[in-house]
Structure 1
Amino acid sequence: MEQKLKIYFTSDVHGYFFSTNYASREEQNRGLLKCASQFEKDENTLIIDAGDILQGSAYTYYCQSELKSNASIAAIMNQCGYDYVTLGNHDFNYGIDYQDSYIEALNGTCVCQNVKNADGSTRYPYQIKTLGNGLKVGIVGIVTDYVNVWEKPANIAAVSIVDPFVEAKMALEEMKDQVDVTICVYHGGFERDLATGKLLSETKENVAYQICEELSFDLLLTGHQHMSIPGQLVNGTYVVQPKENATEYHKIEVVANDGGLEITSMIKRPDDASKCETSEELLAIEADVQDWLDNVVGELEKPLLPEDKVTMAVNGNAIADFINQIQLHYSKAQISAVSLANEIAGFNKKVTRRDIITTYPYPNTLVVYEISGKDLRAAIERSAEYVDVDENDKMVISKSFLEPKVEHYNYDYYAGVSYQIDPSKEQGKRIISCTFEGKEINDADMFSICINNYRASGAGDYPMYPKCKVINEINIEMVDMIMNYFEEMKNEVIQVMSSEKIMVLQS
């Protein structure tokens, strides 16, 4: 007898529920509500999300900072009909209590096998669902355990996040003989190139390829990397991944018969025919968000707008200069380093909250470290890997920052130190000069450096930072700190320090 399962799968929505990117009020063909208007649900359909719902947009910032509630987020997920969700790393950014209130308000079920309670029990165990047609489906969720690296310890003190591969394996062993279809919902991605099998990263941040190689799930629903991966078989497991911010989703069909399973899928995107419809209450919150974003908080001497990535990396960038200026102002450190998100709006001359939140979308706080000259140079050398030189002697973004995941945010801009880099040289030997107050930096020199808590954890392949001595921690989120800076300077037109050219090709 033939039995069918239909799945609508999303991941990394990051709070983009409405049809806007929040850089403006302009309506676009995006947003979870537009996607969900295309979902056709019946008793043999599952709607599943792989995490990173609670953080990432102006809407989620407003919910957390102004409303102090994620009830509207859960209401949207319920309207969309979600049956199962797992947790993403960013769903821990506001702490376990905030996360719990969201999960408790969901009509659907959270599955996240590798999140454990204090007594070691599984907080969100796998589920077995019997469809209307009798098909039994086993669903296990897991999240990258690099949450332990990135997250503020206080935010995850109530739980432990253990090895996702080990937990997925144990869950599969327990449930596989009880079900017809096995599904792993993984907030994580692929550590190898799917076409060639080439290893792309030696870290354990992403282990989807290992799951395909060593386990035998029928279907692996992945996320985290923000990659559009069409449905395909990898070592016998059918895999997919959607792009971020509710710009696309996967419609998956599983047909079970005596011959086994046949799985097919399509990448779907919201279009002009898609409707962004919801309750008056939720539409009112979105309107409040848009009005709140348009409030002017300060004035700059001139606009600070983004350029293409290579130009900014080579010549320095006024947006990074401004954020470094703020970090130095509040930290009193000698040196500051800042990275920029993959997509940034920049600051208009009249700066609004919209400018700030769409330019600095992360809930980072600051750490001041004592760092040696040797480690500082090593950090700058790591950043220098961001640019390579192609066969035409043209500077380009290194593939290692584009694959398997786009990671422009792992390139740092420095202030307080003068340095020049030649990207044509061998990695690790690209610094031409590196001076502090006009003097070349020696290995034994000691400095204070201000960086965000993400970088302070060593994330982005900066292993020198966690070994440094902590001088100070500033537990104010950067968006709030930037707003505070404008409030402090409200009677002034703010000037921004200018950076020097960073990269040159020596003849």
Structure 2
Amino acid sequence: MKLTILSTSDTHGFVLPTNYVKRDQNLPFSLAKAKTVLDAQKAMAEGPVLTIENGDWLQGSPLAYYAAKMSRKPEQLTQIYNAVGYDAGIIGNHEFNYGSDYLRQALATLNYPTLNANITKAGQPAFGAPYKIFERSGIKIAVLGLTTAYIPHWEAPKHIADLQFEDVIATANDYVPRLRKEADVVIVAYHGGFERNLKTGEPTERLTGENVGYALTQIPGIDALITGHQHRQLAAIVNGVPVTQPGYRGEAVGKITLTLAQTTTGYQVTDQQAVLVKAGTVNPSAVIEQVAEPLNQVVETWLDQPLARVEGDMRIHDPFAARVKEVPYIEFIQRVQMASTGADISGTALFNNEGRGFGSTITMRDVVTNYIYPNTLAVLRLTGAELKAALEQCATYFSLNAQGQLMVTPRFERPKPQHYNYDMYQGIDYTLDISKPVKQRVTKLTYHGKPVVSTQTYDVVMNQYRAAGGGNFAMFGPEKVIRENQKDMTELIADYLKAHPVLKAEADHNFTVIPSM
């Protein structure tokens, strides 16, 4: 007999094949396209099938944002996920972005159980059961839900108050032996990724505990491992365990096939396969389209609201160039952060390479497709030494190629793009010389025309992800926060635009990266 395990992960509320940059798109991803693949795979399966949603679905798209922030009705989104036909769901780190109360409201409206074993409250699982045992065709199949324990390093403290994030490996070591006694097959669905090369086992990142997928494959008794979080497309046998990671926004579906043989005590796995089934070229599911379209039409109309107009050019023509030499869009974001908090030093990032800045008329569509995360702002009181250390960390984003030309350091592009971990600052003047050794690249750093003093303190505004130390900024942390603005940054931008309906595209070019392009 064959057991098929299908999964999606990191769909981020992109239920239709659009990124909302413009109307009437048919891009190679979406929950609707993934459902078409899921339905086809279920129809051709040679035995029982389990379908798992592996986390990061509640936040990400403008549609998900609208449900959370504008209508405040999670059921507008969950009814779409309910139409997919999942057997179980897992909690992702982005599920906490709108707070645990909103998350609980959303989970209560799902028609499939949410599983999590390592997020606890007062010693008990905080969200649903830790696992579920399904019985299909006489086979007992255990699914254990796990979530990256690194969430406190990113999330606003009020969103995760009273929650404990237990070690993933310790939790798995606790549950897997017990599940082996109760079930024929043990599946771990983990919202996290891989910390090591799948073939060599060599580390591919700092071993912080954010991703422990490789370590999970070394735990005896796991028959299949579903992963996510890194937005990678992976399907492999690792340490004898079939693993999948199906990318981002429903661009692929993970498929693990286990061949089972009956024994005197139950069933055992005799063969295994792991593949990805791409969803990009299939037609979207009519079922998802029908459920999603009423909300989608409301969202499209909301996105087309004009907020302000621009005098000059606030577009981003080249994302790499925009990180080397300040552009008006970045300076605008800095000004919003400063105006919203009263700080006169600000740091922000150009999050990805898809944002295109603002054209002559700025709409809500422009705001949410450029500033893609539901960040709030925090002001940190930092010493000059800490500020310089942060700039040195930012400088690691750049390297020099064999010809001595500026390039992006490969680890910021692979295995997962991390352009959001390079910040640019306003309110200080600084120079990064990439020809210098790492940690010696800040060759100029002044504040109001005077050198920054290592022992003096400076108030700096940034988003709450960075303020918590996210992105390996160990010099930051909650203990440095002196005040916060709890309004979503997207709302702050919209409010600023309404108050300043005519913007001048300006940049003072307060930072320099050497060598120049």
TM above 0.5, yes or no, is yes
Give the equivalent residue in structure 2 for 1:313.
323
Is the aligned partner of 1:193 residue 2:197? yes
- Provide Cα deviations, 1:167-202, integer angstroms capped at 9, x if missing partner: 122110111122222111111011112232221222
Amino acid at match of 1:211: L
Contact 2:468/2:478 (CA < 8 Å) preserved in 1? Answer: no
Which sections of structure 1, spanning at least 5 residues, go unmatched? none
Contact 2:37/2:277 (CA < 8 Å) preserved in 1? Answer: no
Give the equivalent residue in structure 1 for 2:87.
83
Kindly state the Cα deviation for residue 156 of structure 1 after the two structures are TM-superposed. 1.6
Contact 2:405/2:515 (CA < 8 Å) preserved in 1? Answer: no
Contact 1:313/1:502 (CA < 8 Å) preserved in 2? Answer: no
- Provide Cα deviations, 1:337-380, integer angstroms capped at 9, x if missing partner: 00122232321220011111011111111111221111110000
Contact 1:457/1:465 (CA < 8 Å) preserved in 2? Answer: yes
Q: Secondary structure of the residue that 1:462 maps to in structure 2?
A: coil
Range that drifts further, 264-273 or 180-189: 264-273
Separation of aligned partners in 2, 1:467 and 1:116? 21
Q: 1:11 aligns with which of 3, 9, 12?
A: 9
Kindly state the Cα deviation for residue 117 of structure 1 after the two structures are TM-superposed. 2.8
**1:197-346 matched pairs, under 5 angstroms:** 197-199=201-203, 200-229=205-234, 231-257=235-261, 260-278=269-287, 280=290, 282-342=292-352, 343-346=354-357
- Provide Cα deviations, 1:101-125, integer angstroms capped at 9, x if missing partner: 2222222111111121335346422
Range that drifts further, 344-353 or 455-464: 344-353
Give the equivalent residue in structure 2 for 1:380.
391
- Provide Cα deviations, 1:73-100, integer angstroms capped at 9, x if missing partner: 2211121101111000000111222112
- Provide Cα deviations, 1:298-353, integer angstroms capped at 9, x if missing partner: 11223422344432222223322110011112222121000122232321220011
Separation of aligned partners in 2, 1:281 and 1:237? 37
Separation of aligned partners in 2, 1:17 and 1:196? 36
Q: Secondary structure of the residue that 2:3 maps to in structure 1?
A: strand
Give the equivalent residue in structure 2 for 1:472.
483
Q: Secondary structure of the residue that 2:509 maps to in structure 1?
A: coil
Q: Percent identity?
A: 32
Give the equivalent residue in structure 1 for 2:34.
35
Contact 2:29/2:250 (CA < 8 Å) preserved in 1? Answer: yes
Amino acid at match of 2:221: S
Separation of aligned partners in 2, 1:207 and 1:488? 46
Give the equivalent residue in structure 1 for 2:171.
167
Separation of aligned partners in 2, 1:307 and 1:170? 52
Amino acid at match of 1:48: I
CA root-mean-square deviation: 1.9
Contact 2:467/2:478 (CA < 8 Å) preserved in 1? Answer: no
CA 1:480–1:500 in 2, change beyond 3 Å: closer, same or farther?
A: same
Range that drifts further, 211-220 or 423-432: 211-220
Give the equivalent residue in structure 1 for 2:265.
none
Give the equivalent residue in structure 2 for 1:114.
118
Separation of aligned partners in 1, 2:176 and 2:168? 12
Range that drifts further, 140-149 or 95-104: 95-104
Q: Secondary structure of the residue that 1:232 maps to in structure 2?
A: strand
Separation of aligned partners in 1, 2:117 and 2:279? 31
Which sections of structure 2, spanning at least 5 residues, go unmatched? 263-267
Amino acid at match of 1:29: P
Amino acid at match of 2:227: T
Contact 2:467/2:481 (CA < 8 Å) preserved in 1? Answer: no
Is the aligned partner of 1:56 residue 2:66? no
Separation of aligned partners in 1, 2:300 and 2:154? 30
Kindly state the Cα deviation for residue 453 of structure 1 after the two structures are TM-superposed. 0.8
Separation of aligned partners in 2, 1:341 and 1:244? 16
Contact 2:426/2:510 (CA < 8 Å) preserved in 1? Answer: no
- Provide Cα deviations, 1:454-489, integer angstroms capped at 9, x if missing partner: 111011111112276433211111000000001111
Give the equivalent residue in structure 2 for 1:409.
420
CA 1:474–1:467 in 2, change beyond 3 Å: closer, same or farther?
A: closer
Tell me which stretches of 4 or more aligned residues in structure 1 moved more than 4 Å: none
Contact 2:428/2:510 (CA < 8 Å) preserved in 1? Answer: no
Range that drifts further, 168-177 or 51-60: 168-177
Separation of aligned partners in 1, 2:382 and 2:83? 50
CA 1:219–1:307 in 2, change beyond 3 Å: closer, same or farther?
A: farther
Give the equivalent residue in structure 2 for 1:355.
366
